[in-house]
Amino acid sequence: MVGFKVTQKMNPEKVLRAKARAQRQVLYQQGGYVRAVARRSIKFRADLDAKSPPGSPPYTHREHTLRNAIMFAVERVSAVVGGTRSRIGRIAHTHEFGGVEPATRKKPRRRYPPRPIMGPALIKSQPRLNEFWRNAIKA
C-alpha cells in the first residue's frame, strides 16, 4: 500500500491583492462598456431644431457635444458613468429626468420632457456586465 500526504498553503494577502487588481480592471471595462452603449444611443442631427421624441435618447448637434460629454470614472468599488457638468452643464441631467433648464444670456428658460440616456444604457448593458468577471482573478 502506498500512502501520501498533501499540504496546501494559502496566502490570503496575495488573494486579496489579486481580487483588488481584478476588481479595478473589471470596473474600468464595465464603465467603458456602459459609456459606449450610452454614446451609441445618442444620434446626430445637423438641424438644430430637431428634437427627439419624449422617452427616447436626445439628439446631439454641432460637434457631438452631448455624446462626447458622457464620461466614466472608477472609484474604489464603483464606476460612475454620465454627462460631465464641466462640458455641457446640467442639460444631461435635465434630459435624463425631464424638467426646466434655467434661462441664460443666449437661451430662454425651457422645459424638457424626459429623454433618458443612462437608464436605458444600463438596462441594455446589464446582461453583459457579469461576463467581465469571468476569469478576471488570476493567480
Count of CB atoms situated within 10 Å of the CB of 38: 26
What tens digit of pLDDT does each residue of 25-55 get? 999 999 999 999 999 999 998 888 888 899 8
DSSP, res 44: B
Taking a C-beta distance cutoff of 8 angstroms, is the pair 50, 42 a contact?
no
pLDDT of residue 139: 59
Pairing of strands 110-112, 99-101: antiparallel
Query: String of b and e for 51-70 (b: at least 16 CB within 10 Å)?
Result: ebeeeebbbbeeeeebbebb
Percentage of the chain beyond pLDDT 70 is 99
Write the pLDDT tens digit of every residue in 67-88: 889 999 999 899 999 988 888 8
Per-residue pLDDT tens over the stretch 95-139: 889 999 888 888 889 898 999 999 999 999 999 999 998 888 875
92 touches 75 (CB < 8 A) = no
DSSP line for 66-124: HHHTEEEEE-SS-EEEEE-HHHHTTHHHHHHH-EEEPP-SSS--EEE----SHHHHHHH
pLDDT band at 89 (very low <50, low <70, confident <90, very high): confident
Instruction: Give me the pLDDT at residue 72, please.
Output: 95
Residue 113: per-residue pLDDT: 92
Q: What is the pTM of this model?
A: 0.82
